[in-house]
Structure 1
Amino acid sequence: MEVKKYQLPYGNGFQEVTLPEEKVLYDIHGNKADVQEDIAAATLAAVRCPIASQPLQKVVRKGDKVAVIVSDVTRLVRTAEFLPVIISEINVAGVPDEDITIIVATGTHRAHTHDEDIAVCGKDIVKRIKIHQHDSRNNEELTDLGVTSFGTPILIDSYVAEADKVIITGAVSLHPMAGFGGGRKAVMPGVSGHATIMHNHAIALAPKVGDGCNPLCETGILEGNPLHEDMVEVTKKLDPAFLVNMVFTPEGKLHEVVAGHWYKAWEKGCKDLVAMAGVPIKELADVVFASAGGSPKDMNLYQSCKAHMNAVFAVKKGGIMILTLECPDIKEPAIFTDWFSKSDVLQFEKDVRADFSIPAFVAFKTRCIVNSLTTYLVTKPENFEFVRQTGQIPVASLEEAWLLAQQELAKQGKDDYKITIMGHASATMPVLEA
């Protein structure tokens, strides 16, 4: 039997494992795609030749109060490289700096420090343009725009709701509840009230207690996804004037910039992302090796669990998942990791329903995935105790994890097993063909 050595990203390095080549079904890296080296140039071309919209220079005009929504520091999408282009185009249209406000879409996160504003927006923009930190819990800074058909109260940051023109920015990405990130997420949850965000995200749980996660709210699903549809209703009420979104390859390089109508341009970005990150497979594997993609994607479990949520699409029910996640800050943030103290899954679900938050739901969904498989987690030895608390089996090396997996396969009497490898599982999605 011929063997082959495989490397999976782990922190700033790699973990290696030697596998029988005939057992490997797929080595998934995402599909080949063109790369744009100059983000500023790509952004300028996109905003001057937009999708289903006039160019940005014609969308805004002198006298407008313009709000530009940007992702916060937890979503580093290279805003500092494309934001100056947007501001310049608004200026050329006749809108001076003093009539522009940058809104940091914190969602439920904390406000930026001054240094974080510079990291996200760039030093020159911070000097020139007023920056407002959205606060979802400050009701005095929220405007009530009604209620969605799902019963979600539409509470929007007043700086945004009262602007003449709203420009939304961000990046299209795979999302484990909303199908895709980017687009309408700049508004909901980006600049929405806490009650709006919590009511919307609670849709990610199944309607009936005990049924766990809502199967319609899943990665890559838009049609029939009630959480996404509710987000769209919230954003439609605001009706942003223009969108600029980055589309990155699974390796984190810029593929394209989509700009124009807030939904149609973003929708094109979603389709193009799936063309890169969505990898068709004909068969599920008994064992899946997966990496989040190395640092910074495996800094902590909260970021890393995106690998769990995509890799699960490649493995058979009750199969084996082996993850390489260095996680030097594995317990950050505590509002996520503290939930793993709950080992009773039904009680876990009830507690999430009673005190819903995004970190709580992500922890619950991760626990459900882990409980449905045998999951080995290759990580730092100091993480072992906490890893056991999450229901995963900690190991120090990929070779050791593979040895344990082979023992488990032998126990199950499986000698005809198949393997799939996902080196960038956080950003690639296996799609099982019918």
Structure 2
Amino acid sequence: MKSFSIPFGKEVQHIDLPEDHILYALHGNTAAVVTEEAAAVRKALRQPIESKPLRDIVKAGDTVAIVVSDITRLVHTEVMLPVLVAELNEAGVKDEQITVIVAQGTHRAHTPEEDAIVCGAEMTRRLRMVQHDCRNKDTLSYVGTTSFGNDVYINTEALQADKLILTGAVSFHPMAGYGGGRKAILPGIAGFDSIMTNHSLALAETPGGGCNPHCDTASLEDNPFHHDMLEAAQMVHPDFLVNTVFTADGDLCDVVGGHWRKAWEKGCQDVLATGGVPIREQADITIASAGGYPKDLNLYQGCKAYMNAVFATKPGGVMILTLDCPDIKEPEIFTKWFFRSDLDQVEQELRREFLMPGFVAFKTRCIIASMKTCYVVTRPENFDIIRQTGQIPAPDLQTAWNMARKEVPEHYTVTIMGHAAATFPVYTK
């Protein structure tokens, strides 16, 4: 027998499994951690990828717009932004010529306190902060229509600046393939209708077809969701990009800077190298954790574990998820979609008006439906809610394992994913 400790909230769940049945224990690959973050950012600005150094792109007197991610994203903007601004200052750009645009997408505006958390108190004191509002058409300008028929409207202040700089973080994304890069433009600072049109591409072309199979984690080549964003960013043509890259454990492992697309693509390669794990066989049972708190604070966050674990599991297999979910009913808009049983009707409504929480709920429910059974290890007060989603709750991992073991053949295989939300199984037959 082999012992495993699986993250669960702020604690762990323990289980002993027959060693000869274990197919994989998947973890992110080892990566060197960046200890001097400010120095790494400075190097990305001065030794960029397929671009002149930032100080050679801007000139004294330029107005500069810097797009930053909102508080829902792990970026380390509070470290990056002071270095970026110092470089601009040295090139002759004064503080009063710099505007920070918070790329909310469809999210709510920051409070002043949240601006300080994301950007640092000194930066919010020195620089003008703008909260992007995707629903305020008076602040948007049309830049063109993509080949997918998306009329793209972008924040006017970003377009009017002499120089536009994108920041963010590259990560796996369950629809766009990877986050970061062009996402700072669309959905980051785009209009609501442009965002909804783009996101609707994550649904299959034919009504009733469910999710578009090309819109998935680490998928870029035939991904319309990604290519639509790419076309929108090309219309805007940002002048420079700085993105951070993190390991599955949340440690900074790289900072990429330079051309808005080429530097981001290098970041994608880094993410795949650290979080992508090749597998040659899928398991009968996959035991997956989102990674513990705060990644399993609620089901909305925990869904990322399903979206990666499914790649490690045979179609019609069994998944066991350890999800503490102390705030299981939050956010309310997500849970309203997640607990609905008629998936055909959900798809129809998403086609009429695409909402990201609704789609995440829909895609996760489709994954659950594709499995023979999904067991969820969670706190007892969540049991009734889990049952509403067609899953089976369990008080601990051992109990879930005892039930799951009865549903698989005698010569079963099992894969363990302790940080499934940030570990991507790359299945190669």
| Alpha-carbon distance in 1 for matches of 2:383, 2:375 | 11
Which TM-score applies when normalising by structure 2? 0.98
Match for residue 431 of structure 1? 426
Cα distance in 2 for partners of 1:382, 1:245 equals 40
Tell me what 2:49 maps to.
51
5 Å-filtered alignment, 1:144-223, equals: 144-223=142-221
Give the distance between the partners of 1:116 and 1:359, measured in 2 at CA: 22
Match of 1:375 in 2: 374
- 1:54 partner SS: coil
1:420 Cα offset (Å):
0.4
User: In structure 2, how many angstroms separate the alpha carbons of the residues matched to 1:200 and 1:385?
Assistant: 35
User: Is 1:297 equivalent to 2:295 in the alignment?
Assistant: yes
- State the partner residue of 1:12: 10
> Hey, what's the Cα distance between the residues in 2 that align with 1:69 and 1:193?
15
Point out the more displaced range, 391-400 or 284-293. Answer: 391-400
- Cα distance between partner residues in 2 of 1:341 and 1:255: 38
Paired-residue identity, %: 57
Aligned to 2:67: 69
Question: Which of 12, 23, 26 matches 1:25?
Answer: 23
SS at match of 1:243: strand
The 5 Å alignment of 1:403-414 reads: 403-409=402-408, 414=409
Q: Helix, strand or coil for the counterpart of 1:45?
A: helix
Separation (CA, whole Å) in 1 of partners of 2:389 and 2:57: 50
CA distance in structure 2 between the partners assigned to 1:231 and 1:187 by the alignment:
8
Alpha-carbon distance between aligned partners in 1 of 2:257 and 2:321, rounded to the nearest angstrom: 36
The match for 2:347 is: 349
Question: What is the CA deviation profile of residues 198-226 of structure 1, one whole-angstrom value per residue up to 9, with x for unaligned ones?
Answer: 00000000011111000011110111111
Q: Does 1:395 align with 2:394?
A: yes
Corresponding letter in the other structure for 2:419? H
Q: Aligned-pair distance for 1:8? A: 1.1
Distance 1:15 1:203 in 2: 38
> Whole-Å Cα distance in 1 between the matches of residues 90 and 21 of structure 2?
59
- Structure 1: how far apart are the matches of 2:381 and 2:58? 54
Matches within 5 A, 1:23-172: 23-172=21-170
Determine the structure 2 residue equivalent to 1:238: 236
Residues 141, 158 of structure 1: 8 Å contact kept: yes
| Distance in 1 between residues matched to 2:164 and 2:386, nearest whole Å | 43
SS at match of 1:318: strand
Correspondence for 1:228: 226
Q: Tell me how far 1:347 sits from its aligned partner.
A: 1.5
Amino acid at match of 1:424: H
1:394 shift after superposition: 1.3
What's the Cα RMSD here?
0.9
**Native 8 Å contact 2:148 2:228 kept in 1:** yes
| Residue 76 (structure 1) shift | 2.6
Contact kept? 1:76, 1:120, Cα under 8 Å: no
1:377 Cα deviation after fit: 0.9
Task: Please give the secondary structure, in 1, of the residue aligned with 2:171.
Answer: strand
Instruction: Output one character per residue of 1:87-137: Cα deviation in whole Å (capped at 9) or x when no partner.
Output: 111111100000000010000000001111111001110111010000000
Tell me how far 1:304 sits from its aligned partner.
Answer: 1.1
Alignment partners' CA distance in 2, 1:384 and 1:83: 44
CA distance in 1, matches of 2:53, 2:275: 29
How far the C-alpha of 1:184 sits from its partner, in A, is 0.4
CA shift for structure 1 position 296: 1.3
Instruction: For residue 340 of structure 1, report the CA deviation from its aligned partner.
Output: 2.3
Within 5 Å, give how 1:245-260 maps onto structure 2: 245-260=243-258
How far 1:407 moved relative to its partner?
2.2
Q: Paired residue for 1:420?
A: 415
Aligned partner of 2:394: which letter?
Answer: V
C-alpha distance in 1 between matches for 2:215 and 2:94 = 42
Contact 2:338 2:358 in 1 (8 A): no
Q: Distance in 2 between matches of 1:154 and 1:256?
A: 31
Residue 391 of structure 2 aligns with an amino acid whose one-letter code is: Q
Distance 1:223 1:144 in 2: 27
Aligned length: 428
Give the Cα separation in 1 of the matches to 2:293 and 2:41. Answer: 27
Deviation at 1:37, TM superposition (A): 1.2
Q: Distance in 2 between matches of 1:304 and 1:61?
A: 45
Please tell me whether the aligned partners of residues 163 and 238 of structure 2 are also in contact (alpha carbons under 8 angstroms).
yes
- The letter for the 2-side match of 1:20 is P
Is the Cα–Cα contact under 8 Å of residues 340 and 389 in structure 1 kept in the other structure?
no
1:365 offset after TM fit, Å?
0.1
2:278 paired residue number: 280
- Inter-partner Cα distance in structure 2 for 1:341 and 1:30: 32
* Aligned-pair CA distance for 1:86: 0.6
Distance, in Å, in 2 between the alignment partners of 1:37 and 1:301 is: 33
SS where residue 84 of structure 2 aligns?
Answer: helix
Is 1:384 aligned to residue 383 of structure 2?
yes
Q: TM-score, normalised by structure 1?
A: 0.97
3-state SS of paired residue (1:385): helix
Point out 4+ residue stretches in structure 1 off by more than 6 angstroms: none
Unaligned runs of 5+ in 1: none
Q: In structure 1, how many angstroms separate the alpha carbons of the residues matched to 2:320 and 2:58?
A: 51
Query: 1-side partners of 2:337 and 2:20: how far apart?
Result: 41
Deviations 1:332-382 (A, max 9, x none): 111111012320221121122122111111110000001111111111212
